[in-house]
Amino acid sequence: MRTPIIAGNWKMFKTIVEAKEFAQNAKAGNTSTGVQKVICAPFTALPALSAELAGTDIALGAQNMHFEEQGAFTGEISPSMLKEIGVSYVIIGHSERRQYFNETDETVNKKVVAALKADLVPIVCVGESLEQREAGETSDIVRTQTEAAFSGLTPAQVAGSIIAYEPIWAIGTGRSSTAEDANETIAIIRSVIAEKFGQETAQQVRIQYGGSVKPENIASYMAQPDIDGALVGGASLVADSYLQLVNGAS
Ligand code: PEP
């Protein structure tokens, strides 16, 4: 049995004050068990959230990091800097970073390797654009991205990672994939993991769906056999809505 995981991706939203308010509301209403809860906040809000959420089962994630441990990389944050402030997850290769910040399959792989080395759980994003989907390239795209992201890793490292299948056309658009279509692509991703790392690893690795997930549609995704939770942007920004997503996954 794979424990479902609901990860909020706040993107470039929330000041420290706003993040603290979210944490206080989330703590007050956090009753469900059996679901792993993660909030991926902007770097500046992470220390305050770490203090506010100490002693709860809501874990902290970052939205990016550099793959080097230290050095002359102005503006970057290293894996150990994240560990130091209580972060345990890190989103890697989100389509917005691939699109706007030149993230490539190669840098995604380097970051996944560095995250695991630092004992951070990578949430590795893969997914096709609308053009690619319409050209029938979805399975090729997710195969290429998945193989590249986990290149050189051991089965145990892959099993301990999280994959988020996020079709780009569904992110922040209100146009979500059907649960059946999402499950079909996630099953392809799982089969790629099975081919490369063995069936046992494929059955262990958790694969989330992401793209316009809301409290109203979370149950339909969770009802699918291969979907192990969600990576959620917009609907994770309000504590009540985030907790409804968690309830919907439990
Ligand atoms: C995301 O940011 O990864 C995402 C899926 O966003 P949204 O839920 O807003 O579509």
CA-nearest of 68, 98, 114, 96 to 9 is 96
H/E stretch holding 6 reads: strand 5-9
Ligand 1 pocket test target in 6, 9, 209, 216 with most atoms within 8 Å of CB: 9
Distance between CA atoms of residues 91 and 85, nearest Å: 16
Q: Could you give the C-alpha distances from 104 to 91, 125, 165, 204, in angstroms and in order?
A: 14, 12, 16, 26
DSSP β-bridge partners for residue 39 = 8, 60
Its pTM stands at: 0.98
**Residue 1, pLDDT score:** 85
61 in ligand 1 pocket by Cβ < 6 Å?
Answer: no
96 in ligand 1 pocket by Cβ < 6 Å?
Answer: no
Supply the DSSP symbol for 1: -
Q: How many Å lie between the centroid of ligand 1 and the Cα of residue 62?
A: 15
pLDDT digits (tens, 9 = 90+) for 19-37: 999 999 999 999 989 999 9
Q: What angle do CA 239, 234, 191 make, to 5 degrees?
A: 105
Q: Give, using CA atoms, the residue closest to atom 1 of ligand 1.
A: 233
Per the annotation, the verdict on 166 as an active-site residue is yes
- Listing DSSP states for 11-62 in one string gives TT---HHHHHHHHHHHHHH----SSEEEEE--GGGHHHHHHHTTTSSEEEEE
> Which atom of ligand 1 is the closest one to the Cα of 176?
10
For 178, the token pair is: 């059907």
Q: How many Å lie between the centroid of ligand 1 and the Cα of residue 212?
A: 6
**Is 169 known to sit in a ligand binding site?**
no
User: Catalytic: which of 52, 66, 94, 103?
Assistant: 94
* Predicted-complex ipTM score: 0.98
Residue 157's pLDDT band, with cuts at 50, 70 and 90, is very high
34 in ligand 1 pocket by Cβ < 6 Å?
Answer: no
Alpha helix (H) residue ranges in 63-104: 79-84, 95-100
Q: Give, using CA atoms, the residue closest to atom 2 of ligand 1.
A: 233
State mean pLDDT over 200-217.
98
Radius of gyration (Cα) for the chain, nearest Å? 17
